[in-house]
Structure 1
Amino acid sequence: MIHQYGVNRVIMDGVQYLQCIVTIKDDEIIDFRTFTEEQPFTEWVGGTIEIIRKNNKMVIKR
């Protein structure tokens, strides 16, 4: 199942992105992008997500 979450900040490869939508499918991040307007079907969770690459996939650092 695919879920979209809105967060305040994403950090990936040492770069910080503000106001992002993160799309997750089966514990893998399949997309993230910045946004300026409210997005449909998106759950706002706030906070910061740090993304790392593991086995050629993007995942949340835990």
Structure 2
Amino acid sequence: MKVQITLTRSLIGRKPNQVKTAHALGLHKINQVVVHEKNDAINGMINTISHLVLIEEV
């Protein structure tokens, strides 16, 4: 199963671990969309920045 992740909030002023997590997912700009295979590692990254992203299952 795949999950579509959209960055909806700015990374400016966020904690460094949240910024690095977003960049590791491939999110750099607001409204940027990436698709990843759903697994434990991706779920943990989504939980770290859940307040900054919109998640949809594909």
The TM-score, its normalising length taken from structure 2, stands at 0.30
Structure with the higher fraction of residues in strand conformation: 1
The TM-score, its normalising length taken from structure 1, stands at 0.29
Structure with the higher fraction of residues in helix conformation: 2
